[in-house]
Structure 1
Amino acid sequence: MSIPDHSQEVPLVASIDVGTTSSRVILFNMLGQEVSKHQIEYSTSASKEKFASVGARRFSVDGNSSPGAGTGTAGAGTGTSATESRLNSSTPIFSAEGIAIEATEFLEIEDLEGPSVPTLSFPRPGWVECNPIGILAHVVQCFAANLISMNKVNSDRISSKLAPYRIQCIGIANMRETTLVWSKKTGAPIVNYGIVWNDTRTTGIVTEKRNSTPQALQDRLRAKTGLPLYSTYFSCSKLRWMLDNEPAVRDAYENGDLMFGTVDTWLLYHLTSNHAFVSDITNASRTGFMNLDTLDYDDELLKYWDISRDKIHLPKIVSSAEYYGDFTIPECIKTNLTPIAWSLLCDFTSRTPPVPIQGCLGDQSASLVGQLAFKPGAAKCTYGTGCFLLYNTGAKKLISNHGALTTFGYWFPHLEDKDHAQPHFALEGSVAVAGAVVQWLRDNLRLIPKAEDIGPLASRVNDSGGVVFVPAFSGLFAPYWDASARATIMGMSQHTTASHLARAAVEGVCFQARAILKAMSSDAAGEGQKDRDFLEEIGEGTYEKSPLSMLAVDGGMSRSKEVMQIQADILGPCVTVRTSSSSECTALGAAIAAALAYEKREDRKLWKDLKDVKKWIMYGGVEPGEKPKDGFEPPQARIFRSKSLDTDRRRKWKLWEAAIERCRGWTDIVEDGVNTMGNNSTAAKNM
């Protein structure tokens, strides 16, 4: 699509980033800098109970504080001095990524009072649900808050004779696999929850499938999806569970009224004027229904999960960077906004030309793009609620033989370079628990008062004192893929201290990252490499000589220099750890996708191509080696290299592998009864 020339305005791109524990909207400029940002941390079923007695503070989108406001209406209601007193003494709230949360005019903590459904719920052990309407409302609230901020900034810029900012386009990044269903007739959710990616309620379904499926069929289906068939992680088993356990969902399915989608599809459907019903390949490839070769739904996969194309509406699978529709505000969340916010948003959506939504990436793929890891062989690791590693394999699809999964990194079809315009594959490894183990140590064990204390506490000792902590609270993901494993702490003695436990918890995350990198490097090297450990070998053709020698990191735990040094020590001398220059890689990746979506090169006002993205974000608009313009200083990244001794590092790795074997198959043993305890090792080996 073509846009008119706005030479007197500075273009920005808006990024909507919906995570597991919060939603945010950020406005980026050409340098990849944040011009404006607003974020809402979700309330949870646990936080509502925990903080109901102390109250919570909400902020309206006009920036005014509104203590004790009613849930669902930003800025509504007034507080009392008693409420203010409770607020001033209330316990701080923390995100699952391990970051302390304090409300500001840019960050809102969702109201914890009132009878409404929290955005994130944990109704049973292992169950995690989200509120679809709540997520949609938070996105719009954050967007309105950014418009307020931009208007204020533009007033100052105009008075200073500077060109005003203008939002040119919008991109979306979202938590993947989370499964939502809604009505074709009304657009409303069929049930008032979606099943979040880390929910484990489908363990029985995937176990039954595994036990009843011939190995040849398993191998064929896995080659199509690139995913392990029998993990609770992906959308296929979640949709099957809803159909089997929710009569309303089943009725909508039988009547042809059922719409299925992940969070990206839900947002795009409600935030575009044409109700775009689409999903980009990075999200669609996580459902378990998509064929990696055809880039479309596969009849054999649908049949395997007993899903009929004739009875369900599946979103069209599209690229990560193309025009989806023009931004609009859904009526269903009008009551969640103040009149001022609604009026402001209506003015924005009536703008000429309208603002398109045209970038979409699953969060981990968005982080890969935001880390500027465009070259095949580039790897990144994001430490959030979980831990996610992606390795860019370019246009080459690699099916892992070592426990990693195959997914899509991105697809920017309008780029002039044919190699860059092709869909880019990635190998991925996922750790279910990363920042969440810090939250557990803080909230459940009360080992630390603040999440950011984990690094200093762990660094008080040189090692874990023989303690190994496998934080498999909801099973093991890559490369082990054991949904029946559970968290274990082994090797404790009377010598064990809080510091040893903290260090063992951090090491547990870092060891899993090492296991994934080992698997990926073996896959990249080709067949016959199963038993080789490229992270330990030094020499020609080994890991040190491969493109994986640098690991780019971002996310909450990456902010701790102590934690990242532990990660570097566990990886060893073959890998250097580099922190991201941007604190918002995920949101930045979605912004890049949107800015590159225009078919005509001249319409791309921020960046022309991937090379241009690096030129502006990393070097301030000049070629590498040249002096930056206007005093621009390239963002600095921190580098961490291993300081560990080879003998110590290898000994600790053997302890980790032994601990993994002992924690596997735990829930199977529990379900089988006490009499099977003697078969523990046999059961684990047969997983």
Structure 2
Amino acid sequence: MTAAAPTGATEEPSEVPLVASIDVGTTSSRVILFNMLGQEVSKHQIEYSTSASREKYAPVGKRRHSVDETTAAAAGGGSDSRRASRASPPSPAQPIFSAEGIAIEANEYLEIEDLERPSVPTLSFPRAGWVECNPLGILAHVVQCFAANLVSVDRVNGSRVSNGLAPYRIRCVGIANMRETTLVWSRKTGEPVVPYGIVWNDTRTSAIVTEKRNSTPQAVQDRLRAKTGLPLYSTYFSCSKLRWLLDNEPAVRACYDAGDLMFGTVDTWLIYHLTSNRAFVSDVTNASRTGFMNLDTLVYDDELLNYWDLARDKVNLPRIVSSAEYYGDFALPECVRTNLTPVAWSLLTDFCARTPAVPIQGCLGDQSASLVGQLAFKPGAAKCTYGTGCFLLYNTGTKKLISSHGALTTFGYWFPHLENEEHAQPHFALEGSVAVAGAVVQWLRDNLRLIPKAEDIGPLASRVSDTGGVVFVPAFSGLFAPYWDASARATIMGMSQHTTASHLARAAVEGVCFQARAILKAMSSDAAGEGRKDRDFLEEVADGTYEKAPLSMLAVDGGMSRSKEVMQIQADILGPCVKVRTSASSECTALGAAIAAALAYEKREDRVLWKDLKDVKKWVMYGGTEPGNRPPVDEESFRTRIFRSKSIDTERRRKWKLWEAAIERSRGWMNIVEQSTHDNATAKNM
């Protein structure tokens, strides 16, 4: 698909510029090539093999979604079976859970050529609560995906040129990645010190963070949290993971004592190995998740390093950089050569030899990348990704806010070369998560069998105008932000003989939407400032202007966002202050990294895809259409749909009070169960 020519163009372009986006997630890696419309020109994805899947696993997952599926196979190759594995024997498939209780399915695929060859899984679960990744495996997957896209584009370009069309050309590369995952390698060799990295949702550091909490005065805790924006005592972040490696892996400790230890998250690992200058950097959105960076100074803080007993002269920390600047030219790491066919290796070698060289110059942590890919650039804009759970980010602009409601403070993005002074400054965000979203739809489908397919939930819920008084609190694994009650459990209240499957379906959907509202209410209260936190800003319209309210727009993506019925329910629950907007792309995270890379050029004239954030919106959301020719804001745009509340004020507020009452009744249930079990055991022993 060819991108439309910029307004005023009088001749066909000699080439169609593309930006490549590397997107490394928890269970897969992908590389996507985007044009200026934000459309996917080529895509290749590899699902990770795991040690918690089926009886056998393979180093290279099932390939999918490239322009030419037959050419993609040419990029494949086996992983290096000589690398040691710490994986436990394969066990039956089961979900793993994040620190927020969000389920992550362990995926595994087999290919014919891999059946006879034992291999190292990309994800391993050696003990309960432990989640490890293979750093070299991730690197190999990324290069394989990149090669597959080159194979596809090479074929497509041959056809395009023969038909008189301009060929595609990759101009720059961006990276999005799972955050907090901790990797260590040797400065001398570039090889991992241990053959695994600790993934963000690993919980092995529980004892470390508990000891820290018990031994740290409250005043110190408050001061350190103000510096990092993070809860100090979560297993989520990189700081405790690095401490665990130093305390438990002799090889890591020896490397540290010798001053040879390099620490980084996935972005740092990839950029280091994929740049010709071995750039050792981490962008602010990733560095802010380590627990070592000061949000005000944008550098590693001595007090934070000392708190985790780290010596600056013994551990090499990546230089903290912006999300959009030149890091280095794309290079091919020799260590993955055995993972590629000769054809793929030759194409990559030619790609790296291009003049001018192709730079890697965009980097964002996955949730920040999603915020950018959702085009939520204005302060007061928020995004919600509806997966198994929900991740919500709220753009607070250049203002750093430390939440009093349990949200995290993080960076949204930093694009320093934009001409607008405010847009060129680092942008902060508040982050919160909902443990159960799509999981409740799966529960209705698989456990209660109310629907045959997940996409049937919207139509079923819309058969009734309300829940008939039913309230469903889907706290299957406790309540998270902003309630934070691990002892709570799911409850369904208010049922009668009148209750139908449609009432239950609607109550389940509303339960997800009410949780999202609760987080957004807390975030808007944080944004409003001290002294105004008891007000419900989602119930106030500021002169009818969304941009003047603490929260103006919720951009949505993910499975549930594809249901117009569900999104209308979400808009009705949020009320008239907030509009809900579906995403312009199904790959918001990868698109965000692509936008960062395209805006990294210092000179405006060098930005051949988009000139600035306004230009990004023009092309990605409106297909290049000028403002005067666009549909009204309440109508569906070229690539998005807008939902606004149709609810009656009194009815919406009544339902919110019912929700809050249901929350109170669901709290503390497991405490009661445990006490009852204890009392029963005591009675039997008497």
The TM-score by the shorter chain falls in which range?
0.7 to 0.9
- Cα distance in 2 for partners of 1:601, 1:109 equals 49
* Displacement of 1:224: 0.6
Which of 257, 262, 281 matches 1:259?
A: 262
Aligned match of 1:322: 325
Match of 2:371 among 348, 368, 371: 368
Aligned twin of 1:31? 37
Distance 1:66 1:457 in 2: 40
Task: Find the counterpart in structure 2 of residue 243 from structure 1.
Answer: 246
1:674 and 2:662 correspond = no
Shift of 1:308: 1.9
Aligned to 1:613: 616
Change (3 A) 1:59 1:338: farther
Identity %: 77
Name which of 216, 221, 224 aligns with 1:221: 224
TM-score normalized by the length of structure 2: 0.82
- 1:130 aligned partner: 133
Q: Which amino acid aligns with 2:70?
A: N
Write the distance in 1 (CA, Å) between the matches of 2:546 and 2:671.
32
Q: CA deviation at 1:173?
A: 0.8
Structure-2 separation of matches of 1:375 and 1:658: 35
Per-residue deviation at 1:157? 1.6
Contact 1:379-1:551 at 8 Å conserved across structures: yes
Relative distance call for 1:456 and 1:275 in structure 2 (3 A) is farther
- Rounded Cα–Cα distance in structure 2 between residues aligned with 1:421 and 1:60: 35
Partner of 2:427: 424
Preserved contact between residue 58 and residue 65 of structure 1 (Cα < 8 Å): no
Partners of 2:116 and 2:445 lie apart in 1 by 23
2:472 alignment counterpart? 468
Kindly provide the CA deviation profile for residues 31-78 of structure 1, in whole angstroms up to 9, marking residues without a partner as x. 2221111122223333334x879x9865799833999x998369xxxx
Question: Matched residues in 2 for 1:170 and 1:671: separation?
Answer: 56
RMSD: 4.1
Find the partner of 1:564 among 563, 567, 577.
567
Whole-Å separation in 2 of the counterparts to 1:492 and 1:468: 9
State which drifts further: 405-414 or 109-118.
Answer: 109-118
Aligned-pair distance for 1:159?
1.3
Q: Per-residue deviation at 1:566? A: 3.7
Confirm or deny that 1:11 pairs with 2:17.
yes
Partner SS, residue 552 of structure 1: strand
CA gap 1:456/1:147 in 2 versus in 1, 3 angstroms = same
Are the structure 2 counterparts of residues 571 and 208 from structure 1 closer, same or farther at C-alpha, using a change threshold of 3 Å? farther
In structure 2, stretches of 5+ residues that fail to align are: 1-11, 81-92
* Aligned residue type for 2:348: L
Q: Structure 1 residue aligned with 2:277, among 274, 281, 301?
A: 274
Q: Is the 8 A contact 1:511 1:656 kept in 2?
A: no
Q: How far, CA to CA, are the matches of 1:595 and 1:529 in structure 2?
A: 40
1:2-31 Cα offsets, whole Å, 9 max, x none, are: xxxx96222111111112222211111112
- 1:662 and 2:668 aligned: yes
Change (3 A) 1:499 1:186: farther
- Asked whether the equivalents of residues 489 and 670 of structure 2 are also in contact (C-alpha less than 8 Å), the reply is no
Structure 2 residue 638 is the aligned partner of structure 1 residue 635: yes
- C-alpha deviation, 1:585, in angstroms: 1.5
Aligned letter for 2:614? Answer: K
Cα offset, 1:372, TM superposition: 1.7
Residue aligning to 2:89: none
Q: Cα 1:583–1:269, aligned 2, differ >3 Å: closer, same or farther? A: same
CA distance change for structure 1 residues 60 and 548 in 2, over 3 Å: closer, same or farther? Answer: closer
Q: Look up the match of 1:206.
A: 209
Deviations 1:537-565 (A, max 9, x none): 56769999615232111123322334323
The CA deviation at 1:406 is: 1.5
Distance 2:487 2:537 in 1: 27
Tell me how far 1:279 sits from its aligned partner: 0.3
CA deviations over 1:160-199 (Å, ceiling 9, x no partner): 2121111000000111112222222322223333222233
SS of the residue aligned with 2:538?
A: coil
| One-letter amino acid matched to 2:298 | L
Query: Measured at CA, do residues 414 and 647 of structure 1 come closer, stay the same or move farther in structure 2, by a change above 3 Å?
Result: closer
Determine if contact 1:58/1:110 at 8 Å carries over to the other structure.
no
Do the aligned partners of 1:488 and 1:663 also contact (CA within 8 Å) in 2? Answer: no
- Give the residue type in structure 1 aligned to 2:415: F
Q: What CA deviation, in whole Å up to 9, does each residue of 1:352-375 have, x standing for no partner?
A: 221110000111111121122222
Amino acid at match of 2:221: Q
Deviation at 1:486, TM superposition (A): 6.8
Match of 2:26 in 1: 20
Deviation, structure 1 residue 518: 0.8
Matched length: 641
Instruction: State the one-letter code of the partner of 2:18.
Output: L
- Residues of 2 paired with 1:465 and 1:337: CA distance? 59
- Paired residue type of 2:566: V
- TM-score norm. by structure 1 comes to 0.82
Do structure 1's residue 341 and structure 2's residue 344 form an aligned pair?
A: yes
| Cα 1:431/1:32, change in 2 over 3 Å | same
CA distance in 2, matches of 1:476, 1:677: 28
Q: Which residue of 2 aligns with 1:141?
A: 144
Q: Which moved more, 1:213-222 or 1:613-622?
A: 613-622
| Aligned counterparts, 1:516-555, within 5 A | 516-537=519-540, 546=549, 548-555=551-558
